[in-house]
């Protein structure tokens, strides 16, 4: 029995050593705010990878309330500890909710992506939207950050990841900002479709 357990442990350690790494650097949408971690889209993404026999481990480095500045402050540690082959960036909504300058948001996101690329990782950018509190001009500038940055960096991006969730009442929490457990599979599917080509 002891030999069997030892063999299992060695096998698991070997799998962990050879598996590729994916880092999700995000805010509350990726951290699973208001729901069980097991229900979140990041966990569902790991399940999809397992089901498709994709040898990848997802490291969720997301913090509720985080901004692009916070992500920029944390990216080096994530690159060092997790050694990702792919970095998924889901940040910017909290910046927008605070009315921070779009050029600053874009600059922070660009620097996060550059550091990931310099470390040898592929980048997937997830775009967000915010309520129209700051007027049409600000909203237009904010929305354009993600496609512009994706083009400039030559990286794929997922258009508003909550497109089919945000206006569906039974997929949102009562605060109207965060998806509930029902909305998580929709987000996971959207991310999966853009992630799949990066796994090859």
Strand partners, 116: none
Neighbours of 170 (CB within 10 A): 7
* Close Cβ partners of 16 (under 8 Å, ≥ 6 residues apart): 57
Catalytic residue among 21, 28, 30, 127: 28
What token pair was written down for 128?
């967000």
What token pair was written down for 34?
């208001």
Question: Is 38 among the catalytic positions?
Answer: no
Using H for helix, E for strand and C for coil, what is the string for 33-54? CCCCHHHCHHHHHHHHHHHCCC
Catalytic residue among 21, 56, 62, 178: 178
Annotate 5-34 with b (16+ C-beta within 10 A) or e (fewer). eeeeeeeeeeeeeeeebbbbbbbbbbbbbb
Pairing state between β 56-60 and 86-90: unpaired
Question: Is 28 among the catalytic positions?
Answer: yes
Question: Is 178 among the catalytic positions?
Answer: yes
Strand partners, 87: 23, 123
- Catalogue the active-site residues: 28, 175, 178
């Amino acid at each position: 029995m002891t030999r069997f357990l030892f063999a299992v442990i060695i096998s698991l350690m070997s799998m962990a050593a050879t598996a590729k790494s994916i880092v999700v650097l995000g805010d509350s949408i990726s951290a699973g705010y208001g729901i069980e971690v097991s229900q979140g889209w990041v966990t569902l993404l790991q399940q999809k990878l397992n089901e498709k026999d994709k040898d990848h481990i997802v490291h969720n480095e997301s913090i509720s309330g985080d901004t692009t500045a916070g992500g920029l402050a944390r990216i080096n540690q994530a690159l060092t500890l997790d050694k990702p082959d792919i970095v998924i960036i889901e940040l910017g909504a909290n910046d927008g909710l605070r009315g921070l300058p779009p050029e600053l948001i874009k600059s922070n996101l660009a620097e996060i992506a550059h550091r990931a690329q310099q470390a040898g990782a592929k980048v997937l950018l997830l775009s967000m939207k915010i309520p129209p509190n700051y007027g049409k001009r600000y909203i237009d500038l904010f929305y354009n950050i993600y496609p512009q940055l994706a083009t400039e960096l030559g990286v794929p991006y997922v258009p508003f990841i909550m497109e089919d969730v945000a206006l569906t009442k039974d997929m949102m929490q009562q605060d109207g900002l965060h998806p509930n457990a029902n909305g998580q599979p929709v987000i996971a599917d959207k991310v999966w479709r853009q992630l799949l080509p990066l796994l090859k």
